Amino acid sequence: MRAAINRTRSIAAALACVFLWLAGVSCSSEAEPDPIPNVREDHHSYSNPNQIRVTRVELDLDVSFERTSLEGSATLVLKREGTGGELILDTRDLNIKSVDAAGPSGEFASVDFELGDSDAILGASLTIALSPNAERVRIDYSTSPSASGLQWLGPAQTAGKKHPFLFTQSQAIHARSWIPLQDSPGVRVTYAATIRTPKELFAVMSAEMEAQQPSDAATPGEYRFQMPQPIPSYLIALAVGDIEFQAMSERTGVYAEPSIVERAAKEFEDTEAMMQAVEKLYGPYQWQRYDILVLPPSFPFGGMENPRLTFATPTILAGDKSLVSLVAHELAHSWSGNLVTNATWRDFWLNEGFTVYLENRIQEAVFGRERAEMEASLEVQELEEELKELEPRDQVLHVDLKGRDPDEGFTLVPYVKGMLLLRSLEKAVGRDRFDTFLRSYFDHFSFQSITTEDFLDYFSRYLLSANPEVAEKVPVEDWLLKPGLPHDAVLPSSNAFERVEAVASRWYGGGIELAEIPSGQWTTQEWLRFLRTLPEQLEADRMNELDKAFSLSESGNSEILHQWLLMSVRNSYAPAYPKVEEFLSSVGRRKFLKPLYTELAKTADGKQRALAIYKKARPLYHPIAAATIDETLGVAPE
Residues labelled catalytic: 330, 415
- 253 counts as binding ligand BES under rule CB under 6 A: no
**Binding-site partner at residue 238 among ligand BES, Zn ion, none, CB < 5 to 8 Å by type:** none
Compute the distance between CA of residue 295 and CA of residue 407 in angstroms, rounded to an integer: 22
Compute the distance between CA of residue 399 and CA of residue 289 in angstroms, rounded to an integer: 34
In this structure, the number of other CB atoms found within 10 A of the CB of residue 586 comes to: 13
Total residues interacting with ligand BES, rule: CB under 6 A? 14
Near ligand BES in 158-177, by CB under 6 A: 171-172
Name which of 243 and 304 has its Cβ closer to ligand BES: 304
* Phi and psi angles of residue 165, each rounded to the nearest 5 degrees, phi first: -145, 145
Minimum distance from residue 457 beta carbon to Zn ion (Å)? 24
Total residues interacting with Zn ion, rule: CB under 5 A? 2
Compute the distance between CA of residue 443 and CA of residue 335 in angstroms, rounded to an integer: 9
356 conformational bin, left if phi > 0, alpha if psi -120 to 50, beta if neither: alpha
Type of residue found at 195: I
Minimum distance from residue 359 beta carbon to ligand BES (Å)? 7
Name which of 302 and 623 has its Cβ closer to ligand BES: 302
Compute the distance between CA of residue 236 and CA of residue 207 in angstroms, rounded to an integer: 8
Contact 90, 46 (CB under 8 A): yes
Minimum distance from residue 410 beta carbon to ligand BES (Å)? 5
**Binding-site partner at residue 187 among ligand BES, Zn ion, none, CB < 5 to 8 Å by type:** none
Near ligand BES in 581-610, by CB under 6 A: 591
Name which of 366 and 471 has its Cβ closer to ligand BES: 366
Give the N- to C-terminal CA distance of the chain in Å, as an integer: 68
CA 170 vs. chain centroid, Å, equals 10
**Binding-site partner at residue 171 among ligand BES, Zn ion, none, CB < 5 to 8 Å by type:** ligand BES
**Binding-site partner at residue 350 among ligand BES, Zn ion, none, CB < 5 to 8 Å by type:** none
Minimum distance from residue 162 beta carbon to ligand BES (Å)? 28
**Binding-site partner at residue 380 among Zn ion, ligand BES, none, CB < 5 to 8 Å by type:** none
**Binding-site partner at residue 172 among Zn ion, ligand BES, none, CB < 5 to 8 Å by type:** ligand BES
Near ligand BES in 294-313, by CB under 6 A: 301-305
Name which of 111 and 274 has its Cβ closer to ligand BES: 274
Instruction: Give the relative orientation of helices 540-550 and 558-570 as an angle to the nearest 10 degrees.
Output: 160
Near Zn ion in 352-371, by CB under 5 A: 352, 355
Type of residue found at 378: L
**Binding-site partner at residue 303 among Zn ion, ligand BES, none, CB < 5 to 8 Å by type:** ligand BES
Determine which residue in the list 255, 410, 434, 592 makes contact with ligand BES, applying CB under 6 A.
Answer: 410
Q: Could you tell me which stretch among 26-34, 188-196, 324-332, 612-620 binds ligand BES (CB under 6 A)?
A: 324-332
Minimum distance from residue 587 beta carbon to Zn ion (Å)? 20
Compute the distance between CA of residue 70 and CA of residue 455 in angstroms, rounded to an integer: 38
Binding pattern for the stretch 377-406 against Zn ion, x by CB under 5 A and - elsewhere: ------------------------------
Sheet with 303-304, edge to edge strand ranges:
244-247, 252-256, 290-294, 309-312, 303-304
**Binding-site partner at residue 302 among ligand BES, Zn ion, none, CB < 5 to 8 Å by type:** ligand BES
Minimum distance from residue 119 beta carbon to ligand BES (Å)? 19
Q: Could you tell me which stretch among 95-103, 218-226, 272-280, 329-337 binds ligand BES (CB under 6 A)?
A: 329-337
Please, which contacts does 626-631 make with residues 24 or more away whose CB atoms are closer than 8 Å?
627/148, 628/407, 628/590, 628/593, 628/594, 629/593, 629/594, 629/597
Minimum distance from residue 633 beta carbon to ligand BES (Å)? 21
**Kind plus residue range of the DSSP H or E element containing 328:** helix 325-332
- 326 counts as binding ligand BES under rule CB under 6 A: yes
Q: What is the dihedral of CA 491, 494, 498, 504, to 10 degrees?
A: -100
* Phi and psi angles of residue 527, each rounded to the nearest 5 degrees, phi first: -60, -45
634 conformational bin, left if phi > 0, alpha if psi -120 to 50, beta if neither: left
Contact 589, 626 (CB under 8 A): no
Residues forming a β-bridge with 621: none
- 433 counts as binding ligand BES under rule CB under 6 A: no
Minimum distance from residue 485 beta carbon to ligand BES (Å)? 19
Name which of 172 and 181 has its Cβ closer to ligand BES: 172
- 329 counts as binding ligand BES under rule CB under 6 A: yes
Question: Which 3 state secondary structure label does DSSP give 72?
Answer: strand
Near Zn ion in 335-354, by CB under 5 A: 352
Minimum distance from residue 30 beta carbon to ligand BES (Å)? 41
**Binding-site partner at residue 278 among Zn ion, ligand BES, none, CB < 5 to 8 Å by type:** none
Sheet strands (E) in 13-94? 52-64, 69-80, 86-91
Non-local (6+) Cβ contacts of 629 within 8 A are: 593, 594, 597, 614, 618, 621
Name the residues that contact Zn ion, by CB under 5 A: 352, 355
- Chain contacts with ligand BES (rule: CB under 6 A): 171-172, 301-305, 326, 329-330, 333, 352, 410, 591
